[in-house]
Amino acid sequence: MARKKRPESPTAAALDPRALDYSASVSYDWRLYPYDIRGSIAHTRMLGKQGIIAEDEATAIVNGLEAIESELDADTFELREDLEDIHLNIEAALRVKIGDAGARLHTARSRNDQVATDLRMFVKDYAGMLTAGLAALQERFCDLAEKYADAVMPGYTHLQRAQPVLLAHHLLAYVEMFDRDATRFALCHELADVLPLGSGALAGVPYPIDRAFVASELGFERVSANSIDAVSDRDFVVDFHHAAALTMMHLSRFAEEIVLWSGPEFGFLRLPASFATGSSIMPQKRNPDIAELARGRTGRVYGNLMAILTTLKGLPLSYNRDLQEDKEGLFHSADTLISTVGVFSAMIPELEFDTERMEEAAGGGYALATDLADYLVRKGVPFRDAHKAVASLVAHAQGAGKSLSELALEEYRRFSPLFDKDILGIDVRWSIESRDVPGGTASRRVRRALKEARKRLAGR
Ligand code: ARG
């Protein structure tokens, strides 16, 4: 069979091979192909409908693009390295497949508005996947809070035991963080939901195009209002990185707690064998590698945010080739987020807490000192004075090598005559239940917060 002629690259025919190698993006932007094909099909239908190209040519182009998409899906499409990017690859393949009509696809379009369109579709897709992924992750946190509804733990400030809290209250703190992250991804989706196609290279196009039609074919809410902005703008990429960086930061903080809590010094948490690795030489170890990797990968996701901000800061309007650098970091952060949210959703139901040990720790370390001060306040002592009296009491207990519950009433009274027998009833549970304010750790408040969280998630 005679080999069909390979069309030359419309942009790189005379390029030095080193320059081509330096400037090509096809090795990574190939993954935009589903968006590129959808964008091209919508564009072609519009060209046909508007009489800018003949209807039969439009049909041939659409069929050709669909065939190319099947090849790309099946991994039988041969990507040409001599063609700069996926957009030129698809167009060249179309010309091989359907002949001259293929050369009409790029009418009334530039790669500048084309690539901006593809990237917006990518960002919308991934922002949507991440809002859904975060909802699933939040459900797992809620499940865990429900499973350990009665468990208490020391709440920390400065990583010092501060006041006892319910474990569920601590876990629901993460649900709040991921709520904000989901809101950021939703906003990112909304801001990306603007169609650039129709802006041409930068000035618009001299054809009677129907942008609203293309927008509705591609599921864009609006069309861009300024062609120069449309091809220059990558704010939506920055927005994605911003949401990604904060989400990773939240995951990384939880990862840090998994690392701390699963070590013998805390001993709050037992990692499931399926999410921990052993050591080749130390048989007692269960290493929290998944948590550590998430914590570590947060660094590169932050880096991607800084990289795109820096790439954009000096660019004159409108399109500059620098903008090609928007993709690798975006793909990397998107993939890292999807996989990190996914692996945490899988790991969280497997976490096992040592509730006895946590309860013991919750009462230790003089964590009830604030409750003693509050006790005196209820008897009329100004808080600052109560604080001072209890500080002396704690110093006395420390000196005597006793915990607060081991002190006799007579010892309490040395620091304030207002201490009465009921002081001996102040324990961890009492402390927790006394914080009965909206947002507080009292069990009825936490139960309500859990219910509200579930309701919000169901409505998202
Ligand atoms: N590969 C380019 C990118 O990803 C496509 C746009 C090229 N446009 C241009 N005028 N050279 O940004």
Q: List, as one string, the DSSP characters of 322-362.
A: GGGGGHHHHHHHHHHHHHHHHHHHHHGGG-EE-HHHHHHHH
Of ligand 1's listed atoms, the one at least distance from the Cα of 25 is 1
Q: Which of 112, 231, 234 to mutate to test the pocket of ligand 1 (most atoms within 8 A of CB)?
A: 112
Region 399-420 average pLDDT: 92
For ligand 1, atom 4, the nearest C-alpha belongs to 324
Mutate to test the pocket of ligand 1, among 111, 122, 231, 312 (most ligand atoms within 8 A of CB): 111
What pLDDT sits at residue 2? 46
Ligand 1 site residues, Cβ closer than 6 angstroms: 25, 29, 84-85, 111-112, 115, 319, 321, 323-324
- Closest CA to ligand 1's atom 12: 324
> What does the block give as tokens for 26?
């096809």
pLDDT tens per residue, range 41-96: 999 999 999 999 999 999 999 999 999 999 999 999 999 999 999 999 999 999 99
* Paired residues of 157 in beta bridges: 160
Residue in 81, 317, 324, 331 to alter for ligand 1 test, most ligand atoms within 8 A of Cβ: 324
In this structure, the residue with its CA closest to atom 3 of ligand 1 is 324
Residue linked to tokens 């609006």: 222
Q: What is the pLDDT of residue 364?
A: 82
**Residue 285's pLDDT is what?**
77
Contact 231, 116 (CB under 8 A): yes
pTM of the model: 0.94
Tell me how far the alpha carbon of residue 389 lies from the centroid of ligand 1, in angstroms. Answer: 71
How, if at all, do strands 194-195 and 222-223 pair? parallel
Q: State whether residue 410 is helix, strand or coil.
A: helix
CB-based contacts of 165, cutoff 8 Å, min separation 6: 152, 153, 154, 155, 362, 432, 441
For residue 283, what are its two tokens?
A: 């048989």
Q: Whose structure tokens read 């039609």?
A: 213
**pLDDT number for residue 13:** 64
Confidence of residue 277 (pLDDT cuts 50, 70, 90): confident
CB atoms within 10 A of CB 160: 10
Q: How far is the CA of 120 from the centre of ligand 1 (A)?
A: 15
pLDDT recorded at residue 278: 79
- How far away, in angstroms, is 301 Cα from ligand 1 center? 24
Q: Is the pLDDT of residue 157 over 60?
A: yes
Nearest CA to ligand 1 atom 10: 112
The model's pLDDT over 242-270, given as tens digits with 9 standing for 90+, comes to 999 999 999 999 999 999 999 999 999 99
Q: Among the options 27, 279, 392, 405, which is catalytic?
A: 279
Secondary structure of 132-171 in HEC code, one letter for each residue: HHHHHHHHHHHHHHHHCCCCEEEEEECCEEEEEEEHHHHH
> For 299-303, 324-328, 366-370, which range has the lowest pLDDT when averaged over its residues?
366-370
Give yes or no for residue 5 having a pLDDT over 90. no
Tell me how far apart the terminal alpha carbons of the chain are, to the nearest angstrom: 56
Locate the ligand 1 atom nearest the alpha carbon of residue 327 and give its number: 4
- Ligand 1 atom having least distance to the Cα of 84: 1
Q: Find residue 153's DSSP bridge partners.
A: 165
Place of tokens 């807490």: 353
Task: Inform me whether the pLDDT recorded for 365 exceeds 80.
Answer: no
- What Å distances lie between residue 249 and 80, 126, 241, CA to CA? 39, 18, 12
As a whole number of angstroms, the distance between CA 35 and CA 218 comes to 9
Q: Is pLDDT above 70 for 1?
A: no
Q: How far apart are CA 334 and CA 300, in angstroms?
A: 12
Burial 324-348 (b: 16+ CB within 10 A, else e): bbbbebbbbbbebbeebbebbbbbb
Q: What DSSP line would sit under 177-241, residue for residue?
A: HHHHHHHHHHHHHHHH-EE-TT-TTTT--SS---HHHHHHHHT-SEE-S-HHHHHH--HHHHHHH
Residues 189, 124: contact at Cβ < 8 Å?
yes
3-state helix, strand, coil in the chain (%, to 5): 65, 5, 30
Work out the pLDDT band at 122, boundaries 50, 70, 90.
very high
Pairing of strands 160-166, 152-157: antiparallel
Distance between Cα 324 and ligand 1 center (Å): 6
Indicate if 27 belongs to the active site: no
Please tell me the distance between residue 112's alpha carbon and the centre of ligand 1 in angstroms: 6
Instruction: Give me the residue label for tokens 């703008």.
Output: 233
pLDDT in the model for residue 283: 67
Which pLDDT score is estimated for 363? 87
Q: Name the catalytic one among 27, 87, 106, 158.
A: 158
Distance 18 CA to ligand 1 centre (A): 18
Rounded-to-integer distance, Cα 355 and Cα 359, Å: 6
Distance CA 44, CA 454 (A): 45
Helix (H) or strand (E) holding 270: strand 269-270
Residue nearest to atom 11 of ligand 1 (CA): 321
The protein residue with its alpha carbon nearest to ligand 1, atom 5, reads: 111
Per-residue pLDDT reduced to its tens digit, 15-41: 899 999 999 999 999 999 999 999 999
Quote the ligand 1 centre to 363 CA distance (angstroms): 62
pLDDT at 148: 98
pLDDT at 305: 98
| Type of residue at 121 | M
Q: What is the pLDDT of residue 4?
A: 55
Whether 199 sits among the annotated catalytic residues: the reply is: no
Q: Which atom of ligand 1 is nearest to the CA of 201?
A: 10
Distance of CA 23 from the midpoint of ligand 1 (Å): 10
Give distance in angstroms: CA of 385 to centre of ligand 1.
69
Average pLDDT, the chain: 95
Mutate to test the pocket of ligand 1, among 321, 325, 331 (most ligand atoms within 8 A of CB): 321
